[in-house]
Amino acid sequence: MAASVPSISRSRTAVAAVRKGTATSPFSLFSDPFPITTINSYYSNTAKVLNPDDALSRTQFLDFVKDRSKSKSDHLKLDDALGWFDRMVLTKPLPPVDVFNHLLGAVNKIKHHSTVAALYMRMKSTGIAPDIFTLSIILNCYCRLKRVDLGFAILGDIFKRGIEPDAVTYATIIDGLCKSGKLDAALELLKAMEKGTCRTNTLVYNTIIHGLTKKRLLKEAMDLFSEMVEKGFEADIVTYTTIINGLCKTGNVSAALHLFRKMESGKCRPDTYAYTTMIDGLCREGLLDEALGLFSEMVGNSISANVVTYTSLIQGFISMGRWEESTRLFNEMISNGISPNATTINLVMDALCKEGMVEKAHELFHLVIQRGEKLNIISYNILMDGYSLQGKMDIAMEVFKSMVADGIEHDVYSFNVFINGFCKSRRINEAIRLFQEMHRMGLIPNTVTYNTLLGGLLGAGSVRAALTLVNEMKASGLSPNRITFITLLDGLCKRNYIAEAINVFQVMVNSNFQPCIQIYSILIDGLCKDGNIEMAKKLFDGISDNGLVPDVITYNVMINGPCKEGLMEEANELLCKMEENGCVPDIFTFNAILRGFVKINEMQKAVEFLHMIDKRDVSPNVDTISTVVDLLSKEGQVPSLHASNISGQKLAKQLLLEHHAMRRFYDPMIELEKTDLRTLVNSQLMCSECLQ
């Protein structure tokens, strides 16, 4: 078993102890006892005492309690239940235990498990003897509270009464063990059941299979599934969907689909949940056509899709950029009378904003509100982020203010969205004011807040303020992360604060923070641009010592430095080393070297290098073409621009087609914007004429 649990032997001992009756106290089995004093305190603080001389007779009152306990539990109020319990223990003679059981069961259903435990302790202190049903309820409570130790103590009480627990009781204990992460102990208990008089059932197997899949132990879950079938237990819809869900979440969709078809061909027919689980798994793997096919099959089999089914499909199509299909599904869902939930709405709004259609997202936002449905804080944050990214900060601020009017409090993410928007719009003072407002509201900025504001300050040239902010961040108890250092070093290098950048890097290394390759690339680039090639080389050579491998960006930065200084031999050596280490050069690598040859007037080598680029089948960009035109200009092979009555576009074509090594560079040029190309070529040619 992959999940090692230290309490296996203890749980085995516990079962033996409770069977023998040697466990004198529930606290003798496990170390940290359940805080009974806490739950008694909770009860005493929340109990509502009713007058025992109420007009209702004893019999009427007890019948009333039983009826209310049997009704829908969501209609039950805790204060009422506590009041009834208090009256019951004051009633003379004491009511039968089954009335208490009804009330305890009802409180358990509304998930007030600690309260049930407190009521149970009060029952015992009042002299009311629990029966098997009481013990089953309290055992369930302890397990839901993840106090399986106390659950075993209750199991011991059941054994002492000479009662053999049924499969449901064992399933409850096993479920508690699984939820506590004690899977090995759960399997041991399953084996103990099989050796005893209590025969296990599908419910028990399902409970352990669910626990295994939650821990992503799919092999163990499949093995248990096979064992279950071999022993004659019939897998039900819960068994199949649990494993299918686990397989989908671990990316094993083909195995999940195989199991789905196996279920389909057997006695167990897929339901809405099974289809939805499988559709969601296919969508997450980008198998949208297969998901849509399964959806059609689902509808054809008269199985109703729900909001989760549609949301899975919509999310899948949005993630693959297939906006039309997602819109069609969204409209289909509404026309079929299925109301989108907050998750669906947020999904569509987020996609609209990312596509630049913030106004459409806002229309959807208003439409949902007009229908009387509540949106959550995520909806507001998405809308604000959409406007912020477009620089429409005033409209974003209106949404920000409307949150309070709609009864939704701002959170840290709301402020982060705004601070980011103001920083990107170069409105750094507003960003700082919002940062200060967070503190006034009692909201604690997180690492994202600090990193965002840090980037804004550096972008605005406020280097000293940025360094102060990093110190404030540390003082608040937050540690700078990778993004913090990348943002800080990038800002310092771009502002030519190289000494400060080196100091930050040294502090980072001294504090045992492992620099990533991106950090190395930023600092090497800064050193090269500052003309400190030697120090850049030392830093570059130290990359492998830290267990990192330079990527194409790192090599490009390192090659670009010597090229700018005209050190072409060094650049070529780096290119060779780059390829030897399995890093494939890109067009930026070649552009740097090509520019380097042109810069030192090594025209023949530049042309030879162009031949080499041609063989590599690398697509040129604007910078390549600019360098090519510059190369031709310096060779004196460009006709006078003023003497020629020809456009820059045609001239570029003529020049490039006349030179064999440069012919292939014309085609990509025509894909560029004509104005950009004309400006580029004309400026290069005019610069050439000025030099002649």
Stretch among 31-45, 307-321, 367-381 having the lowest mean pLDDT: 31-45
> Which residue in 240, 250, 248 sits closest to 271, CA to CA?
240
Backbone φ and ψ of 282, nearest 5°: -65, -40
| Higher local confidence (pLDDT), 627 or 475 | 475
Domains 235-340 and 410-513 share a fold: yes
CB of 594 within 8 A of CB of 568?
Answer: no
408: left (phi over 0), alpha (psi -120 to 50) or beta: beta
Please give the average per-residue pLDDT across 492-512, as a whole number: 91
Q: What is the pLDDT of residue 635?
A: 53
Split at pLDDT 50, 70, 90, the class of 690 is: very low
Q: 10 Å Cβ neighbour count for 581?
A: 11
Split at pLDDT 50, 70, 90, the class of 475 is: very high
Q: What is the pLDDT of residue 562?
A: 87
> Which residue in 107, 101, 74, 69 sits closest to 61, CA to CA?
69
Q: What is the pLDDT of residue 163?
A: 78
Whether 172 has a pLDDT exceeding 80, the answer reads yes
The mean pLDDT of the chain is 81
Please give the average per-residue pLDDT across 372-401, as a whole number: 89
Q: Give the HSE-up count for residue 269: Cα atoms under 13 Å, Cβ half-sphere.
A: 6
Q: Which amino acid is at 126?
A: T
> Which residue in 256, 269, 270, 199 sits closest to 231, CA to CA?
199
Distance CA 579, CA 637 (A): 34
Stretch among 71-80, 568-577, 645-654 having the lowest mean pLDDT: 645-654
CB of 218 within 8 A of CB of 234?
Answer: no
Element (H, E) at 155: helix 148-160
> Which residue in 225, 286, 277, 218 sits closest to 250, CA to CA?
218
Max mean pLDDT among 147-151, 447-451, 549-553, 591-595 falls in: 447-451
pLDDT digits (tens, 9 = 90+) for 57-96: 888 888 888 888 887 655 788 888 899 999 998 888 889 9
User: How many whole angstroms from its chain centre is CA 412?
Assistant: 17
Q: 10 Å Cβ neighbour count for 575?
A: 17
Distance CA 57, CA 49 (A): 17
Can you tell me which residue has the tokens 């310096």?
634
Element (H, E) at 634: helix 622-634
C-alpha dihedral sign at 648, 653, 659, 660: positive
Distance CA 391, CA 397 (A): 11
CB of 341 within 8 A of CB of 307?
Answer: yes
Tokens, residue 493 = 């290098």
Q: What is the pLDDT of residue 649?
A: 43
Name 566's Cβ contacts closer than 8 Å, sequence gap at least 6: 596, 599, 600
Q: What is the CA radius of gyration of the chain?
A: 36
| Higher local confidence (pLDDT), 336 or 168 | 336
Provide the residue ranges of all domains of the chain, joining segments of one domain with +: 235-340, 410-513, 516-575, 586-692
Backbone φ and ψ of 59, nearest 5°: -65, -45
Whether 257 has a pLDDT exceeding 90, the answer reads yes
For the chain, how many residues are written?
692
Whether 686 has a pLDDT exceeding 70, the answer reads no
Q: What is the pLDDT of residue 632?
A: 64
Stretch among 412-426, 480-494, 651-665 having the lowest mean pLDDT: 651-665
Split at pLDDT 50, 70, 90, the class of 203 is: confident
Whether 566 has a pLDDT exceeding 70, the answer reads yes
Q: What is the pLDDT of residue 659?
A: 45
CB of 169 within 8 A of CB of 136?
Answer: yes
Tokens, residue 423 = 């920083």
Can you tell me which residue has the tokens 């689980």?
277
Name 57's Cβ contacts closer than 8 Å, sequence gap at least 6: none
CB of 62 within 8 A of CB of 55?
Answer: no
DSSP string, 526-564: HHHHTT-HHHHHHHHHTTGGGT----HHHHHHHHHHHHH
- Cα dist. 526→389, 468, 478, 481 in Å? 29, 22, 27, 21
Q: 10 Å Cβ neighbour count for 610?
A: 23
Please give the average per-residue pLDDT across 51-56, as a whole number: 49
Can you tell me which residue has the tokens 């539990």?
73
Distance CA 535, CA 501 (A): 13
Distance CA 530, CA 200 (A): 75
Q: What is the pLDDT of residue 284?
A: 92
State what percent of residues in the chain have pLDDT above 90: 35
Split at pLDDT 50, 70, 90, the class of 488 is: very high
* CATH no. for 410-513: 1.25.40.10
196: left (phi over 0), alpha (psi -120 to 50) or beta: beta
Tokens, residue 211 = 């626990």
With a threshold of 0.75, does the pTM exceed it? no
> Which residue in 349, 432, 104 sits closest to 340, CA to CA?
349
SS (H, E, C) 101-150: HHHHHHHHHCCCHHHHHHHHHHHHHHCCCCCHHHHHHHHHHHHHCCCHHH
Stretch among 104-108, 168-172, 661-665 having the lowest mean pLDDT: 661-665
Name 29's Cβ contacts closer than 8 Å, sequence gap at least 6: 10, 13, 14, 17, 23, 149, 152, 153
Give the SS3 label for residue 507. Answer: helix
CATH class of 235-340: mainly alpha
Element (H, E) at 687: helix 674-691
Backbone φ and ψ of 620, nearest 5°: -75, 160
pLDDT digits (tens, 9 = 90+) for 11-49: 444 444 444 444 433 323 333 333 333 333 433 443 343
- Cα dist. 506→255, 485, 489, 499, 561 in Å? 50, 11, 11, 11, 22
Helices and strands (H, E) in the chain, number of each type: 38, 0
Distance CA 162, CA 540 (A): 76
Split at pLDDT 50, 70, 90, the class of 199 is: confident
Whole-angstrom distance between the N-terminal and C-terminal Cα of the chain? 80
pLDDT digits (tens, 9 = 90+) for 216-232: 999 999 999 998 888 88
Q: Give the HSE-up count for residue 529: Cα atoms under 13 Å, Cβ half-sphere.
A: 16
Please give the average per-residue pLDDT across 624-628, as a whole number: 75
User: How many whole angstroms from its chain centre is CA 536?
Assistant: 37
Distance CA 124, CA 683 (A): 94
pLDDT digits (tens, 9 = 90+) for 130-148: 888 888 898 889 888 888 8
Q: What is the pLDDT of residue 362?
A: 92
